[in-house]
Chains A and B, each alone.
Chain A
């Protein structure tokens, strides 16, 4: 089955800096890659996703890049703010049969003022 590795497990940055979280996946058939943000004590929420027919997607300060050849994708947050502090999860799935999302173990991002 699919295996998703996520790094780093924790990331501390100063407000205004950029943050990058990287994920690798094992199943070359995977073609959908969402990112979820989970604030402390709250439920995970989708912040951005990318499908395999594009290499990059942006939404304001957040961007995701995908390298299908290398089987890795990354989340980029620019101009970080304290409210970006949360745990971020990457995931992967493929559009066949009854495939489900496989999540990485998460990255705790701490943005210091």
Chain B
């Protein structure tokens, strides 16, 4: 069984640009979570999608947005990039509900210059 996959592995952008990150969940999982992992700050929850709907959102500005497609894959968009957006962005998937184990992808390393 394939695990959670993310693309691209690395992404380099300049300040003010937009970034799009992609995630494919484990087959059969309907929930996709996005986290930001910046150095020393642990895992900061960004967004949770389930069955195509946004279920919850972390304490991030509106320029962080995303969506979930009918095949349950997901996209995270970050507009008007700022230097402090540089981080590892992790996607996780699970069966419906936060009490199910979350399986993480390898992450996308976003660098904003």
Q: With A100-B45, A105-B42 given, is the CB distance from A93 to B90 under 8 Å?
A: no
Which of chain B's residues have a CB closer than 8 A to the CB of A34? 101-102
Which of chain A's residues have a CB closer than 8 A to the CB of B43? 44, 89, 91, 103, 106
The answer to whether B101 touches A46, judged by C-beta atoms less than 8 angstroms apart, is yes
From residue 11 to 57 of chain A, which have CB atoms closer than 8 A to chain B?
32, 34, 42-46, 49, 51
Instruction: Give Cα distance in the complex from A98 to B56, angstroms.
Output: 6
Which of chain B's residues have a CB closer than 8 A to the CB of A67? none
Count of CB-CB pairs between chains A and B under 8 Å:
56
Kindly state whether residue B106 has any CB partner on chain A within 8 Å: yes
Of the four ranges (under 10, 10 to 19, 20 to 34, 35 or more), the interface on chain B belongs to: 20 to 34
The answer to whether B104 touches A43, judged by C-beta atoms less than 8 angstroms apart, is yes
The answer to whether B42 touches A104, judged by C-beta atoms less than 8 angstroms apart, is yes
Closest-CB distance, B76 to chain A (whole angstroms): 15
Closest-CB distance, B95 to chain A (whole angstroms): 13
Among residues of B, the one whose C-beta sits closest to the C-beta of A102 is: B45
Number of interface residues of A (CB under 8 A): 23
The answer to whether A103 touches B104, judged by C-beta atoms less than 8 angstroms apart, is no
From residue 80 to 113 of chain A, which have CB atoms closer than 8 A to chain B?
89, 91, 93, 95, 98-106
Which residue in A43, A101, A106 is a CB contact (below 8 Å) of B45? A101
Instruction: Give Cα distance in the complex from A46 to B40, angstroms.
Output: 20
Which of chain B's residues have a CB closer than 8 A to the CB of A51? 99
Closest-CB distance, A46 to chain B (whole angstroms): 5
Instruction: Give Cα distance in the complex from A81 to B55, angstroms.
Output: 40
The answer to whether A44 touches B55, judged by C-beta atoms less than 8 angstroms apart, is no
Instruction: Give Cα distance in the complex from A102 to B58, angstroms.
Output: 10
Q: Across the A-B interface, give the 3 residue pairs with the lowest CB-CB distance, nearest first.
A: A105-B42, A43-B104, A103-B43
A residues neighboring B (CB under 8 Å): 6, 32, 34, 42-46, 49, 51, 89, 91, 93, 95, 98-106
- In the assembled complex, 5 residue pairs joining A and B whose CB atoms fall closer than 8 Å, in A order, are A34-B101, A44-B90, A44-B104, A89-B42, A101-B98
